[in-house]
Amino acid sequence: MRRRILTTIIAVTTAAVLGLFVPASIAIAGAIRRGDLLDVQRDASIAASLVPAEGPVDVATLQRALGPDRRVGLYSRDGALVGGFGPDRPDPIVSRAIAGSVAEGHVGDALVAAVPVRMAGGGPALAVRIAEPRANSRTRMARSITLLAAEAVLILAVAVLFGLLLARRLNRPIDELRSWTGTDRPDPPDATGIREIDALRAVLVDERSRVEDLLARERSFSSQVSHQLRTPVAALRVALETELEAPRRDHTDVLHESLGALDRLEATIGSLLSLSRHARQPAVSIDPSALATERVRWWRPRFEQSGRTVDSSGPPVPALAVEAAVEHILDVLLENALAHGRGAVRVETTVGSGAIHVDIADRGPRPDPDPLVDEDRERRCGIGLHMARSLAESFGGRLVLLDRPSTTFRLVLRAAPRPGSVPALSLDSSSLISR
């Protein structure tokens, strides 16, 4: 880019300079030629004024008065050279002066001017001829054009310097952006005030943020899989080991239990894959109270082994959600209560303001800061709560930590429309309301 900018500036400046230099040189050459002719004519008039009205004419005196660059010649009425320098036969310029006219022009390699003197009734008796070599005029012309060329070169040099500075200014933010994209620095380079470069900067910042988010999501997916697959795998293992140690009369019971565990495992994998792709899952009508009762029944033996109790309550209510995702969320919250909570755990399903609330509460103090939004806690305690929040959001629900003295997580679900009703859902910052 730097080379292109510099090349463009030099090319445009060169074209502009040439566009002015050529006609300016022609004009200067014409002006010098006209000026030299006028100078020779003026000197001829000066020489004519020094010729006495009568008597002999001292050509040497005229020559001294005009200087060595001039060649003075004196011609008689019949065209004969009577003194000084000039052709033996009168040239056209001298002929016109003998005829009584002041004349000037180029003769051979000289600038010539002739003036008639000692005018009488029959015409001039003499004609003074002044000649200057054209080499002098060419020297002055070359000097002026050389000065003009030097100015043109100076303009080109200034243009090159300006082009270098401009290219450096335009390339510096691009180089900084390129260097930033290849490092782990979080902060991008400052805006430059150049609209195009700042637009490129915004695109690169957005793309880097998107790529980092995708990488973080992919990295966390393996952790989420291992975290959430342990429960159905453990259930399947316990069922099989129990059957091996104490076989039941009907062996199909363990097969049905194993198939149920595999179904749950398959649902878990599908939900996690949807979460990893950031896909929004379609919500259907489910009964969260029945799901809560079923999950509490599954977790109760583990709570009893720890000397704690877990219960559920709530009427049957229809809600719009993804059944497998709600099961995962309840498992995460019950496991969190078992590992970090205190006392009895209660799962209560209630009908809120146009929404269904599923509260999971224990008697432990409310954690501070909120583990659902605290990234440091995620690194310390794992990704279960964060994954549960993402699962809830994937089908239009929400998971929040209530502002209560004891630890109470609330899963907010949209209420399903009842038969014969036409609900109008409205989403605000606290819940989804059905009017």
More confident residue, 230 or 204: 204
What pLDDT score does 358 carry?
A: 93
Segment among 258-267, 284-293, 338-347, 393-402 with least mean pLDDT: 258-267
Tell me how far apart the alpha carbons of residues 49 and 58 are, in angstroms, rounded to a whole number.
13
What pLDDT score does 120 carry?
A: 66
pLDDT band at 294 (very low <50, low <70, confident <90, very high): very high
Tell me how far apart the alpha carbons of residues 100 and 126 are, in angstroms, rounded to a whole number.
10
What pLDDT score does 41 carry?
A: 84
Give the number of other Cβ atoms within 10 Å of residue 245's Cβ.
Answer: 7
Backbone angles phi, psi at 101, to 5 degrees: -115, 145
User: Which residue, among 37, 34, 127, 117, has the nearest Cα to 73 in the 3D structure?
Assistant: 127
For 115, the enclosing helix (H) or strand (E) is: strand 110-120
| pLDDT tens per residue, range 214-235 | 666 566 555 556 655 666 677 6
Tell me how far apart the alpha carbons of residues 217 and 219 are, in angstroms, rounded to a whole number.
5
Dihedral sign computed on CA atoms, order 260, 262, 268, 273: negative
More confident residue, 315 or 382: 315
Q: Hey, what domains does the chain have and what are their CATH numbers? A: 2-151 (3.30.450.20), 191-279 (1.10.287.130), 280-434 (3.30.565.10)
Tell me how far apart the alpha carbons of residues 61 and 170 are, in angstroms, rounded to a whole number.
71
Average pLDDT over residues 48-63: 82
Tell me how far apart the alpha carbons of residues 123 and 76 are, in angstroms, rounded to a whole number.
11
